[in-house]
Amino acid sequence: MINIYNGIRSNKPDIRASAIEFLDNLLEVNLKRVIIPIIETAMLDTISEEAMVNLKLKVPDEYECIEMLLEGKDVKIKLAVLYLISQLKDQKYKSIVKDYINSEDIKVKTFALKALETLTT
């Protein structure tokens, strides 16, 4: 990923194109549809609200980002997000956390219970 990042930041167009093509091969379709246009537009240093509208990009708010991260498959990310929620102590996340207190993964379940405890005290 670092090589891709460095390639995208390169001043050489052929290296940037190769980095984007490599990233394109790595990403799942859902991510590819969002990330590649952002990178290509950002490379032009013209990302603006108009560009985002033209690309039909919706920038999720904090709540939606947390939901999406928790819905993913990566357990470490789930644990980090549940920990973040416990540190934020924002009641609006209570319903999301409740969805994970019966998780089959013991670590996720433990972090969810701790986060819920923090939110209810």
d(CA 81, CA 87): 10
**Considering all CA atoms of the chain, what is the largest pairwise distance in Å, rounded to the nearest integer?**
56
Average pLDDT over residues 98-106: 96
pLDDT number for residue 46: 46
Give the length of the chain: 121
Domains present along the chain, CATH in parentheses: 2-54 (no CATH), 62-120 (1.25.10.10)
d(CA 55, CA 101): 37
pLDDT number for residue 16: 80
pLDDT digits (tens, 9 = 90+) for 12-61: 878 888 888 888 888 888 777 777 777 766 665 544 566 566 666 666 78
pLDDT number for residue 55: 63
CA pseudo-torsion sign 5, 7, 10, 16: negative
Q: How many CB atoms lie within 10 A of CB 86?
A: 18
